[in-house]
Amino acid sequence: MKKKLFVATLVSYLGIYITMPVLSAISTKAHLMPGQIGIMISLGAFAMLLFAPIWGKLSDSFGRRIVMIIGLLGMGAFFILYVALLHMAIGTATASSMLIYALMGTRFLLGIFMTTTPTAANAYMADISSVTDRAKDMSSLGFATGLAMVLGPIIGGLISASGNLYLPFYTTIVLLLIFAVIMTGILPKQQITIDNAKNDETTQKQKSKFFSVQLLSWLLVGSSVMFVVVGLQLLTSLYLHDNIGQSVIQSAKTSSFLFVILGVTLMIVQILQIKVFNFSARQMMLIGIPLIVIGLLLIASANAYWLMIVSYIFIGAGAALGMSSLSAGASLTVSQEHQGAVAGAVAMTQAIAGIVSPLFGSFIYQINTKLPFLFFAGFAVLTYVLFMIITAHQAERGVRSE
């Protein structure tokens, strides 16, 4: 069952990342201005923010299986509509306002389903994982995310090399719809759970409530990880151009290479976590955040290409531990009945990062090119200190948040 959840998560994120390399180019051909492209992408992230917790609660009420299948089908269906609208816009001399609004609206509708399958898969993994195995099992879903981050752009770039910018979208649609059918057949209709009940009445009383200070500490420190991962996607090429002295074309190519390095590092560390380290969720976060902070400080002081490579290796390793840690640690702060809701809350932090990090990061970058990296590092340190204080109290009482 755990392998099926891995595949479902991988396919869902591939549905996002395969189209990313050509999204700006095909949107430009559809006569959208750069600002309109940014608004369109932000609308998708905003939809993820609004609906991730809703899908989580729906999976608690109606089951993980049906929500996962709806997520794959929904993405496939709205990608079809998205491509149809792109064809219409590109086929005209100038796209009408109605077509542009339709593309933006469709991107919003697509965003509603982008976190559906991963959210339900995370909740399902919590259902079938023991407390001691939770961190390791959640790392496998983090590995699926990292694998999609690396393979998706590579696949999209390769199949668009023919010059047909629609091919990544067609590939994504076929992939999502085929796996929706496959998942319908292989996911058990009767949901599987294991009993993680504790004898500690105080612990159970705390976990019967969804919101807690412990959960908040996990979401805050986890958001610092996501802010970095998302922010770097926008800032890397700009920083390479302004501080390392690369041309616009060189900075775009180098940026892609650095993200491959980050993604490969992320995957390697997550494999090591699953096979070798087997850290608890709290241990992963305690190790991951300092690695990210070191990487950010290296970027802020970088004046050479090789130093940028080193910094992205540090950030990739830290993000691998932090992203997996967030899902596992947050799930252990609530009872079984709230696993879908907490998975939605975790997905919501990713959506918040998708909206806030690019906007705020680009704004303070205009003030000083090093400021976003220093701010992200400072925010990570602040949330890290709060996390240590709150979870240390819990650990002392023998109720491990990992």
Q: What is the pLDDT of residues 374-395, one digit of tens each?
A: 999 999 999 999 999 998 865 5
Of 357, 339, 354, nearest in space to 122 by CA:
339
User: Do residues 123 and 218 both lie within one domain?
Assistant: no
Greater confidence, 200 or 346?
Answer: 346
* Alpha-carbon span 313 to 401, nearest angstrom: 28
In a domain, 291, yes or no: yes
Hey, what are 279's tokens?
């850290």
pLDDT surpasses 50 at 400: no
pLDDT surpasses 90 at 95: no
Select the more confidently predicted residue: 202 or 226. Answer: 226
Question: Are the C-beta atoms of residues 10 and 144 closer than 8 Å to each other?
Answer: yes
Claim to verify: residue 9 and residue 89 sit in the same structural domain: yes
Amino acid 107 reads R
* Euclidean distance between CA atoms 393 and 106, whole angstroms: 46
Domain boundary among 159, 187, 215: 187
pLDDT tens-digit series, residues 34-91 = 678 878 888 888 898 888 888 888 988 888 889 999 999 999 999 999 999 999 998 8
Closest CA to 57 of 251, 256, 334: 334
Reported confidence tier of residue 195, pLDDT bands at 50, 70, 90: low
Last residue of a domain, one of 155, 187, 219: 187
Mean pLDDT across the stretch 211-237?
Answer: 86
Question: Taking residues 327-335, what's their average pLDDT?
Answer: 82
CA distances from 44 to 75, 351, 385 (A): 12, 9, 32
How much is the pLDDT for 393?
63
Tell the burial category of 282 from Cβ atoms under 10 Å away from its Cβ (0-12, 13-18, 19+). Answer: buried
Across residues 14-26, what is the average pLDDT?
82
The tally of domains found in the chain comes to 2
Residue 115 contacts residue 351 (beta carbons within 8 Å): yes
Q: What is the CATH number of the domain that holds 159?
A: 1.20.1250.20
Give the pLDDT confidence score for residue 252 in this predicted structure.
67
158 in a structural domain = yes
φ, ψ dihedrals at 41, nearest 5°: -65, -40
Q: Is there a single domain that holds both residue 137 and residue 208? A: no
Give the end-to-end CA distance of the chain in Å, rounded to a whole number: 22
What percent of the chain shows pLDDT beyond 90? 29
- Claim to verify: residue 85 and residue 207 sit in the same structural domain: no
pLDDT digits (tens, 9 = 90+) for 255-271: 778 888 888 898 889 88
Based on the fold, state whether residues 144 and 233 are members of the same structural domain: no
Domain end position, chosen among 187, 213, 231 = 187
Residue 195 lies in a domain: no
256 and 376 fall within a common domain? yes
Are residues 110 and 206 both part of a single domain?
A: no
Together in a domain, 168 and 263: no
CA–CA separation, 383 vs 228, rounded Å?
A: 13
Instruction: Provide mean pLDDT across the span 315-340.
Output: 85
Domain assignment of residue 308, yes or no = yes
* Confidence check: pLDDT of 280 > 90: no
Considering the domain architecture, whether residues 19 and 141 belong to the same structural domain is answered as yes
Q: Is residue 295 part of a domain?
A: yes
Classify residue 94 as left (phi > 0), alpha (psi -120 to 50) or beta. beta
> Model's pTM, two decimal places?
0.76
Q: Tell me the average pLDDT of the chain.
A: 84
Domain membership flag for residue 68 = yes
Residues 240 and 142 in one domain: no
Residues 233 and 378 in one domain: yes
Q: Tell whether 4 and 121 lie within a shared domain.
A: yes
Q: What is the pLDDT of residues 129-156, one digit of tens each?
A: 877 777 777 778 877 877 787 788 778 8
Q: Tell which residue, 149, 175, 185, has the closest CA to residue 80.
A: 175
| pLDDT of amino acid 203 | 45
Window from 197-206, 349-358, 375-384 with minimum mean pLDDT:
197-206
Range of the domain at 46: 1-187
What pLDDT score does 169 carry? 93
pLDDT computed for residue 46 by the predictor: 87
Q: How confident is the model at residue 224 (pLDDT cuts 50, 70, 90)?
A: very high
- The answer to whether residue 213 is domain-embedded is yes
* The pLDDT of residue 193: 64
Band of pLDDT at residue 198, cut at 50, 70 and 90: very low
Q: Name the residue among 49, 59, 103 with its Cα closest to residue 79.
A: 103
Task: Kindly report which listed range (7-21, 92-106, 297-311, 333-347) carries the lowest average pLDDT score.
Answer: 333-347
Look at residue 207 and tell me whether its pLDDT is greater than 70: no
Residue 193 counted as domain residue:
no
